Amino acid sequence: MAKRISVSRKMTKIFRKWEGILFFILLAFVLEGISRVEIVSSLYFPPISKDISTFLNLTVSGILPLETLKTFTRMACGYVLAALIMIPLGIFMGISNKVYNVFEPIVELLRPLPPPAIIPAVMLFLGIGNSMKVFVIFFACSFPIILNTIDGSRSVYPTFLHTARSFGLNRYQIIRRVILPAATPQIMSGLRTSLPISLIVAILSEMIGSIDGIGHYILRMQRTFNIPEMYAGIMMLGLVGYFLNKIFLWIDKTLIAWHKGWRISGI
Amino acid sequence: MNNVLKNIGKSKISGFVLIMLFLGLWEILSRLGRVDFHYLPPISIIANSLYELIGSLEIIRHILISLRRVVMGYLLGASVGYLVGFLCGYISRIYSFLELTLEYLRPMPSIALIPIGILFLGMGDTLNVFIIGWACSWPVFINTMDGVSSTDHIFLNTARTFGLNQWSIVKKVIIPSSVPYVFTGLRVGLGIAVAVDVITEMVVSSSGLGFFIITTSLSFRIPEMYAGIVTIGLFGYILNKSFLLISRRALRWQRGFLSAEK
């Protein structure tokens, strides 16, 4: 009797573990059925199986990965540029009131502007080439990064700073050894916020003015009525977003592993 | 003199001085033809065209159209996000069912859905409202779920001890204690709603602020384009400020509650 209970418990456990995937597969079957029996026109909504096979075909033939790579390169350039400029600036704004007062009004002035709104103006100066996209991505990513960095470097425990000063560390050492590590978790959260933003803005700028990239590809496929190809492109985007987030979480975990232990130890 | 300079360095005046210098430089350079007059018209001309656009009501029409789309999409997205988030936070079983599906859909850039939206909804307002709703439902969903599932156990146990039934626990404990989280999500969602509204209008619509700036840019009405960009900034700013005003009112009890706890 006891054994049977434990077996059924095991079954429930396994079921619980896989129910998310089960639901996902079930949903795919329902969508397949909807399209097969033409509840929704299969012209607009091809069966999932067809989308997936198109997706695989396009992936193997290298069309989708190539377009995605172009988008990704632009995105990475803008993102890294924003991180390289905004993290140091944010730290200086966080530790020096003078620097903060100089730049704060500009940041506050530009912050409420939705990043896509600057695309038309940037297009005038930089055309529709890569530099326009990189600049717009840079602009969009800057705000979450700089605001979080300022916050992070301002909220360093005063005790830490006093201790560092008592031990005779100079300004540079304090920044490197105390402020930077203490602000890292918050800097990372800013970087994490701006990651999906960079992807969205990259795709948008490709939809508005571009000749390649995954955003342009999806829109072109829709306009030329290659609907399965369009869905395949969208699936690819979902995957890219998903894995970007996963990779980032992994980096985050390895970079600030010490922080979790530090928090648990109760300081 | 030195003292005055020091004070300027300490206060925010220095920042405003910097902005003024920047704008002045822009005006002068543009007037002197150092930068291309057509691409970067003087500030005064931009201000003048903004004034004219408001006077001729052209931009007011676009503002109202955008506002309607933002509000409708926001209400749709916020209510769906709240409902799903509440269910997922309250019954963790539902979340474990939906987890994979939601985690796959969540990082999908909302504008990737524009092409699908065009197929099913056409190019009308419904498209904008749906895309905006989709995009701003995610932060509301995540925050509501977090808020509901992190209700303090002491509160729940106390409520149970006093013999409250499940419905009144939800109404009197879970919903109030999740409100601060929900408002965070709502605030993030509002910013996203404005940005996505501009995006959808740039890509598909033939009205609204996003359409206005892209069409003026393409037809080389550059001062009007800059005026439109300024308007969009103000639009987002005012929406955000009014949201903060409302949330401060709504959360007044909570601040008192927090300080009482301290």
Query: Which residue on chain B is closest to A199 by alpha carbon?
Result: B109
pLDDT of residue B92: 82
Residues of A in contact with B101 (CB under 8 A): 20, 23-24, 27
pLDDT of residue B261: 42
Residue A36's closest CA among A56, A57, A51? A51
**pLDDT class of B6 with cuts at 50, 70, 90:** low
| Residues present in chain A in total | 267
pLDDT of residue A259: 64
B120 — contact with chain A (CB < 8 Å)?
yes
Residues of A in contact with B70 (CB under 8 A): none
**Residue B74, pLDDT above cutoff 70:** yes
Q: Which of residues 144-183 of B touch A (CB under 8 A)?
A: none
Per-residue pLDDT of A109-147, as tens digits, reads 888 888 888 888 888 888 888 899 999 999 999 999 999
pLDDT of residue B10: 59
**Residue B40, pLDDT above cutoff 50:** yes
Residues of B in contact with A221 (CB under 8 A): 115
Identify the H or E element spanning B165.
none
Residue B15's closest CA among A102, A89, A107, A99? A102
pLDDT of residue A81: 95
How far is A15 from chain B, CA to nearest CA, in Å? Answer: 10
A124 — contact with chain B (CB < 8 Å)?
yes
pLDDT of residue A41: 76
Average pLDDT of chain B, as a whole number? 84
Interatomic CA distance for residues B67 and A126, integer angstroms = 30
Interatomic CA distance for residues A203 and B53, integer angstroms = 31
pLDDT of residue B259: 46
pLDDT of residue A251: 87
pLDDT of residue B194: 92
A76 — contact with chain B (CB < 8 Å)?
no
pLDDT of residue A83: 94
Tokens of B50: 């903004």
**Residue B226, pLDDT above cutoff 80:** yes
Query: Which residue on chain A is closest to B96 by alpha carbon?
Result: A20
**Residue B234, pLDDT above cutoff 60:** yes
* Amino acid, single-letter form, for residue B56: S
Residues 6+ positions from A83 with CB-CB distance below 8 Å: A141, A145, A191
Nearest to B110 among A109, A200, A222 (CB): A200
Interatomic CA distance for residues A91 and A84, integer angstroms = 12
**Residue B94, pLDDT above cutoff 60:** yes
SS (H, E, C) B201-226: HHHCCCCCHHHHHHHHHHCCCHHHHH
**Residue B1, pLDDT above cutoff 60:** no
pLDDT of residue A2: 53
Judging by beta carbons within 10 Å of its beta carbon (0-12, 13-18, 19+), is residue B89 exposed, middle or buried? buried
User: Is-contact A54 A236, C-beta < 8 A?
Assistant: no
More confident call, B184 vs B14: B184
Interatomic CA distance for residues B230 and B54, integer angstroms = 12
How far is B162 from chain A, CA to nearest CA, in Å? Answer: 33
A114 — contact with chain B (CB < 8 Å)?
yes
- What is the separation of C-alpha B237 from the centre of its chain, rounded to a whole number of angstroms? 9
Domain limits, chain B: 1-36, 41-261
Confirm whether pTM is higher than 0.90. no
**Residue B124, pLDDT above cutoff 90:** no
Tokens of A41: 């026109």
B210 — contact with chain A (CB < 8 Å)?
yes
Mean pLDDT by 10 residues, chain A (267 residues): 64 75 85 82 81 88 90 94 94 87 84 86 85 93 92 85 87 86 87 89 88 88 88 89 87 74 47
Nearest to B236 among A44, A113, A218 (CB): A113
A215 — contact with chain B (CB < 8 Å)?
yes
Mean pLDDT computed over B93-112: 83
**Residue B46, pLDDT above cutoff 70:** yes
pLDDT of residue B246: 87
Residue B142's closest CA among B191, B181, B187, B107? B181
B41 — contact with chain A (CB < 8 Å)?
no
pLDDT of residue A84: 95
Cβ contact, residue pair A101, B214, below 8 Å: no
CA distances from B242 to A143, A145, B64, B123 (A): 21, 25, 16, 30
Instruction: Number of helices (H) and strands (E) in chain B: give both, helices first.
Output: 13, 0
pLDDT of residue A149: 92
Cα-Cα-Cα-Cα dihedral sign, residues A124, A128, A131, A133:
positive
Nearest to B198 among A116, A207, A227 (CB): A116
Cβ contact, residue pair A112, B9, below 8 Å: no
Q: CATH second-level architecture of B41-261?
A: Orthogonal Bundle (1.10)
pLDDT of residue A265: 46
Mean pLDDT computed over B79-103: 88
Nearest to A203 among B99, B112, B236 (CB): B112
**Residue B149, pLDDT above cutoff 80:** yes
User: Is-contact A35 A48, C-beta < 8 A?
Assistant: yes
User: Is-contact B217 A123, C-beta < 8 A?
Assistant: yes
pLDDT of residue A169: 85
How many CB atoms are closer than 10 A to CB A130? 17
Query: Which residue on chain B is closest to A118 by alpha carbon?
Result: B229
